[in-house]
Amino acid sequence: MITNWDSKYETNISEIDSQHKKLFRLINNIEEVYDENKHHLSGKTKILIDAVSELEDYTLSHFLIEERVMELNQYPDLEAHILQHNKFTDKILDLKNRLNQGDLHSSDGLLDVFFKDLIEFLRAWLTNHILKEDMDYKPFIKFSI
Ligand SMILES: [Fe+2]
């Protein structure tokens, strides 16, 4: 099930909203790659890892920009917000390391469970994070970058 953008996710900071939209697209892309290959996942690990890496790279640069915007606006809960970003970054790294392990690589069944869990986790994390932590900073932002 593809995650669609909705106005409830808007921070009204155009740069941040366009980055969040791209994060939705990158998660949907992982799901599309998974769906297209779900009957022979073990032969498609490269394209699957590439899709996860693309999300990981973009997420890291997005977090840095979001943290700069919060810092620039002296957001009082900046430290707690950065902690949430760091926890997510650690989790993505863990998942990517797990994906690179041999036992997972060669098993269609294990890869299937892994990707179902991964996609569900990513979708839940991103939507919950935007609706809670990102909405919390929204009233404090007067300047963007
Ligand atoms: Fe955030």
3 C-alpha vs ligand 1 centroid, how far in Å?
18
Q: Domains in the chain: how many in total? A: 1
Residues ≥6 apart with Cβ < 8 Å to 110: 103, 104
94 C-alpha vs ligand 1 centroid, how far in Å?
20
112 C-alpha vs ligand 1 centroid, how far in Å?
29
Q: What is the extent of the structural domain holding 94? A: 13-36+44-140
78 C-alpha vs ligand 1 centroid, how far in Å?
10
pLDDT band at residue 144, thresholds of 50, 70 and 90?
Answer: confident
Q: For residue range 27-64, what is the model confidence (pLDDT) as tens digits?
A: 999 999 999 999 999 989 899 999 999 999 999 999 99
CATH code of 133's domain = 1.20.120.50
Residues, CB within 5 angstroms of ligand 1 (ion): 66, 134
pTM: 0.94
Q: For residue range 87-110, what is the model confidence (pLDDT) as tens digits?
A: 999 999 999 889 888 788 888 999
